[in-house]
Amino acid sequence: QVQLQESGPGLVRPSETLSLTCTVSGGSISHYYWSWIRQPPGKGLEWIAYINFSGNTNSKSSLKSRVTISVDTSKNQFSLKLSSVTAADTAVYYCARHGLDTGNYQAYFQYWGQGALVTVSS
């Protein structure tokens, strides 16, 4: 069974960079797409970015200028960096593995990490 675990600081100062890592166990990071999704307190889900084992990436247009996503296949990990954070970036951040679907869109999230609450505050 694939398991994902987020790690990183729970508190980030405004204007600094949020950094999170997702460690994948129970399966290889190869052959799938991997995403970061966030959920502000009391609000809905928001897709942030994805990466695949080849390093192909995409991110939400409104966040693109601040997002860096990377993969380390030797460690079975992928990471998120979000720069110039504000209070609006306070959220639970989930890492997730995409599922395989018809046509290889991989447009759904089959496995999720437990989530990491990141608070932006001085």
Partner 1 sequence: QSALTQPASVSGSPGQSITISCTGTSSDVGRYNHVSWYQQYPGKVPELMIYEGSKRPAGVSNRFSGSKSGNTASLTISGLQAEDEADYYCCSYVDSVTFVIFGGGTKLTVL
Residues that bind partner 1 (CB under 8 A): 44-47, 50, 58, 60-61, 94, 99, 101-102, 105, 107-110, 112-115
The least CB distance from residue 95 to partner 1, in Å, is: 11
In the complex, what is the shortest distance from the CB of residue 118 to partner 1, in angstroms, rounded to a whole number?
Answer: 16
Nearest to partner 1 of 15, 105 (CB atom):
105
User: Which residue, 87 or 107, is less far from partner 1 as judged by CB?
Assistant: 107
Cα–Cα distance measured from residue 38 to residue 47, given in angstroms and rounded to the nearest whole number: 7
- 6 CB neighbour count, 10 Å cutoff: 21
Shortest CB 85 distance to partner 1, Å: 21
Q: Which is nearer to partner 1, 32 or 109 (CB)?
A: 109
CA of 42: how far to CAs of 15, 45, 74, 76, in Å?
23, 10, 36, 31
List C-alpha distances in Å: 5 to 1, 26, 30, 54, 104: 13, 12, 17, 21, 25
